[in-house]
Structure 1
């Protein structure tokens, strides 16, 4: 018979330990819960309300809905409205957050009293009274009115002590070469850059600010560009900044130049002009030319359409030889043409003259837009490589020089009657605040076109082109790229609508 298993003896110590451990764990849990709750209670007052947290989302939803509603209108593409609030940060044409401002730039303008009555009007076209700073340096006194909105007028110092032996040039080159030094001696405050130019040079001052902001003004910089004439550059120097096109000198470099320039000038009595004397002194200082292609000397004659219609992808900084070339817009005066151009500059200076290329696929047309200036339509398909090469609507500075004497690639003006471009010049421009875009109207030039035998639609049915564009003041803070353009639907056969702006991802220029 089986007996029952005896039970183990009761251990009171083990039971007590287990009870103590359980109580300890429970106490820690309670303290943790209370502590966490306390933190939540304490932080509740410092947290933003739920409406504040939802505000950015609501803002995005609002922007998204407004964007999609506005994008239903063909003149505001969906992909272009995404970052415009960030891009449109601009005060008087200056980039927000930019180190160098317009107030840091001082202009030294070399002028002649004999031509003053005509050329003062060129200066008025670009000068901003109360914003731009600078001095016009003349050979003798002229009459001016106080309300003309011109820079300060001063008389250049005497240069009779300096030698000048060049038989082809003029002694005025000596006084003009000293413009930067004489401007420096005026002791203006808060100057970072001196920009020199002639009285027949116009500047796009906002683009100057953009370009000079790239450089450290505390270092030695000599910024400018060469001539369009290969012969000119050989005769003078490819390392020389042409003074007519304008150039910029940083303040520290101007101080060093001022100390030695008079001695330097004496060593080069045989040089022709003021700009080669400047370059000779820069060579002695050991400072090379930093090239910016937007300074335009324009050592050419004739019509600038070929050059300005295919402007390089760089900010337009200056235009020179206004008296030599034809008016920028046909059948008007040079001064009125400049005034018309600066209407576009006012609305989007960063994009002035920037080329964009697109195609009308239905009609097999090639379209080249030089924003703010002209639109050209050509029958047939020309590649972007051809369209970005300037056509020789202009003549060489040296009459005997052929097309090989340019310092850049060019292409001939076509002789084929069907390939002569139809040119539409900017007629008027306005800013549409509701859609935050610039609306430019370009009217067709009424020059006669030769008879064309091609069995395709002719652009002569179009009287005007409307170009729509969002201002893009920060475009030069990105890598340089040509804008894209698109042909938009139109309800009128006599009007073509184009949109111009930043290219979409993966967008290329092809038919």
Structure 2
């Protein structure tokens, strides 16, 4: 047998056919080349397969032991406190998270409002008259009494298979999947009052650290609401001097001997300014709610407030439980620190900052009382760096999609163009990076395990101006060493 092509020439007819097909073959090869090069934006040249965790001790989704109390979205009734004067603008926030046919509950107003057809909004109810209740606080408004009674009024409407009542304002945005995740940890047949404190230390002193702030939202189990409804009117009359609805609610809970169960994923957002530092330093817990959008800057620069929140919630389609969860890694070759807030933003800083420092929220915001005192917050904060070389380069989420072939979520983050002070350090500048690509696997069971941040790894890249990261389960013995 010989391999010489001269001994086995193809028939003349085949040669003729191949010659006539050369233009088509050339076009096909060109198309394949363009497709392969376009993928370089998504995957670095060396990373063409699915990245998996090396930790053999982790339990997968399919064989994870069943936990929780089987609470679903249908078991939760949302009670939204709203004002007729602000309804035209505030209803746009509700539309962002409300899901007709899936979510249940109602909006409670002080007066009738005009309702357009086909608006994706909850049912509208008018609160009962509260003029019989005394209100003596000179700084507040007596609408606080009306709002505090909403959950008791909702009890009369929602009794079929309801396990939880969740209170919120008309400018509160809920991540409904995470509402379910959090409430599923608790026995709905017991008395539970679940929420969180203010971000302002002064607010918590003036009101209470034991109070769930209404703008951030809070949840009350069904049997507790039944018990509350029996005594709430009497309770309200005993506290005419209280300021708001949420401190009246807490006063009644105190009389029922029910303490606040704190879940830090409920956010009152008692701050002004830029939330970049606050969200990037989010605690290791699901993001449940955000509030006060009318007083903070848009979450994404250059967008309107409603548009920016909608953009943030896009990432929940792929991994709602991981939204804004923090990861830290380092590009040791270029001596960069990288702070990832998944689905929101990435910050790259010159120099190696310790994880202990990076995990603390930076003060890109100011306190509710507009004081510049770092002790004014109910959590640790760190100052925004004054060194011109350590100002972070910020990359905001541009788009998120799911790659079915590799079973990975792909997040594209693009640089926020802003002026950076001149730096005389000789190390390479992150200004050369215009895009960061983050590869991640969906992790629906992350909150069924002990709380732990995801690990982050810098991946190799030959594509100039693009940085590739992987975020996911930490491998066995994986430690951030700096």
After TM superposition, the score normalised by the length of structure 1 is 0.83
Residue 87 (structure 1) aligned to one of 47, 61, 86: 61
1:26-425 correspondence runs (5 A):
73=47, 76-79=50-53, 86-87=60-61, 99-400=70-371, 402-425=373-396
Residue 405 of structure 1: CA displacement?
1.0
3-state DSSP class of the match of 1:119?
helix
Q: Distance in 2 between matches of 1:315 and 1:199?
A: 21
- 1:361/1:75 CA distance change after superposition, 3 Å: farther
Q: Give the aligned CA root-mean-square deviation in angstroms.
A: 1.9
Counterpart position of 1:29: none
Query: Are residue 475 (structure 1) and residue 449 (structure 2) matched?
Result: no
TM-aligned CA deviation for residue 221 of structure 1: 0.3
Q: Secondary structure at the match of 1:390?
A: coil
- 2: CA distance between counterparts of 1:357 and 1:239? 32
Give the CA deviation at 1:101: 0.7
Question: 1:88, 1:473 within 8 Å by CA — same for their partners in 2?
Answer: no
How big is each residue's C-alpha offset from its partner over 1:281-305, in whole Å with a ceiling of 9 and x where there is no partner? Answer: 0000000000001011110000000
| Structure 2 counterpart of 1:463, from 397, 413, 434 | 434
Q: Deviations over 1:159-210 (max 9, x none)?
A: 1111000000001101100111111111430000000000111011111111
Q: Is the 8 A contact 2:272 2:366 kept in 1?
A: yes
The DSSP-based 3-state class of the residue aligned with 2:182 is helix
Q: Tell me how far apart the structure 2 counterparts of residues 243 and 472 of structure 1 sit (CA, whole Å).
A: 30
Say whether the 8 Å CA contact 1:389–1:409 is kept in structure 2.
yes
Match of 1:492 among 463, 475, 480: 463
Bigger Cα displacement from structure 2, 237-246 vs 396-405: 396-405
Structure ranking higher on relative contact order (CA contacts 8 Å, 6+ apart): 2
The 1:83–1:437 alpha-carbon spacing in structure 2 relative to 1, beyond 3 Å, is farther
Quote the residue 1:62 is aligned against: none
C-alpha separation in 2, matches of 1:162 and 1:473: 47
Cα offset, 1:119, TM superposition: 1.0
- Is 1:506 paired with 2:477? yes
> Is the partner of 2:399 in helix, strand or coil?
strand
Q: Cα distance, 1:429 vs. partner?
A: 0.8
Change (3 A) 1:199 1:80: farther
Q: CA, structure 1 residues 261+436, in 2 after alignment: closer, same or farther (shift >3 Å)?
A: same
**Is the contact between residue 265 and residue 289 of structure 2 (CA under 8 Å) also seen in structure 1?**
yes
Give the conservation status (yes or no) of the 8 Å contact 1:225–1:240.
Answer: yes
Gaps of 5+ in 2: 1-44
Q: Is the 8 A contact 1:228 1:298 kept in 2?
A: yes
> Is residue 194–residue 260 contact of structure 2 (8 Å, CA) maintained in 1?
yes
Conserved 8 A contact 2:76-2:166: yes
Q: Distance in 1 between matches of 2:293 and 2:409?
A: 27
Structure 1 CA distance for aligned equivalents of residues 341 and 57 of structure 2: 24
Q: How much does 1:74 deviate? A: 5.0
Aligned to 2:413: 442
SS at match of 1:294: coil
Could you tell me how far apart the structure 2 residues matched to 1:331 and 1:468 are?
26
Q: What is the alpha-carbon distance in structure 2 between the residues aligned to residue 370 and residue 89 of structure 1?
A: 29
CA contact (8 A) 2:84 2:111 kept: yes
In structure 2, the CA distance between the partners of 1:96 and 1:433, relative to structure 1 (3 Å rule), is farther
Structure 1 CA distance for aligned equivalents of residues 166 and 420 of structure 2: 43
- The question of whether the paired residues in 1 share the 8 Å contact of 2:196 and 2:267 is answered with yes
The structure having more radius of gyration, on CA atoms, is: 1
Instruction: Determine the structure 2 residue equivalent to 1:432.
Output: 403
Q: For the residues of structure 2 that align with 1:364 and 1:88, how far apart are their CA atoms?
A: 40
Q: SS of the counterpart of 1:183?
A: helix
What is the SS of the residue equivalent to 1:197?
Answer: strand
**Structure 1 residue aligned with 2:11:** none
